[in-house]
A and B are shown apart, each in its own frame.
Chain A
């Protein structure tokens, strides 16, 4: 058992001369739900994408579940097998049915046999209340349904950590709540969650900690209560004013 699920120390990332992450340090404990927010271009997506190696970083250290996320591809594989991710644009495989979207990764990434994978897939789809669509193709589903399938697909692999990169930003307003509800459920089950989002309602209801980033730096962090009601930093005050309308 690791008490620290994710441990980030002095992380820097440059795109050419532009510095996307500036000396970011952050620890996420097992079972904790951390919400990262901040204005666009603040580096929050870059940071979460570093956590499973979708982005590389220039220097610093990044450990996930005791594995170093870096150039070592074997270590990276171990991390990816235990860390699920949900994207803003769902990224379901459009040429596969909903069921196959959930079965194939289990077979290919964990070597499960098809029958067991199918049972697991249907189970997860049921939990996300999209099992009636199992035989359909992704483009036949609404955005909210697709995102719940994407979550089911990730959960089929029994991850220890879930990363959410703006999971509701591409959704129509009336579909946001159906995705947030299943995420809240997951947080209550003590899944370790890192979520980049603008949905402050989600942060207030289930986050253990809220982190505000701006210009590639962690500006302020604290419990939702501290961050919403008693922000210390000017940028945080400004941001909270904007997002709470």
Chain B
């Protein structure tokens, strides 16, 4: 049987897969201990006419939690240092990578409910790029902040892939970030 953490992890991966699939992007799993990437999302074919890349790729590290720290503009998540260092700078990433955090209800029975006419995965996920963040000297974890506006939705994923195909950064100016 999976322990609670493993269930949360699988739900976060399922969320990313579902969003990627509905966008018609292909999803490739990756060995987690390889370099901290859980999934790679690939698009094939030019997403916009002036794109420089016809096959943009996004690498994703997916997490889930019932303990998001909620502020007005942003949401705090305590990420293990080891995982943080596989997302932050200063070394750049050839393939852009983001952290996706699925916020789950506190009550486990509400995480996923099923009825004959619907299956609901609660609540939702947010994403953030940490490529501009410096390494940390913390020992165990780093609180990372996800802008409240950065839902990991199909529209958001489309926009992310569009930006990648144009060679644009995923680090958004003026967002409510900060360590």
> Do chains A and B stick together as partners?
no
- Could you tell me which B residues sit within 8 Å of A by CB distance? none
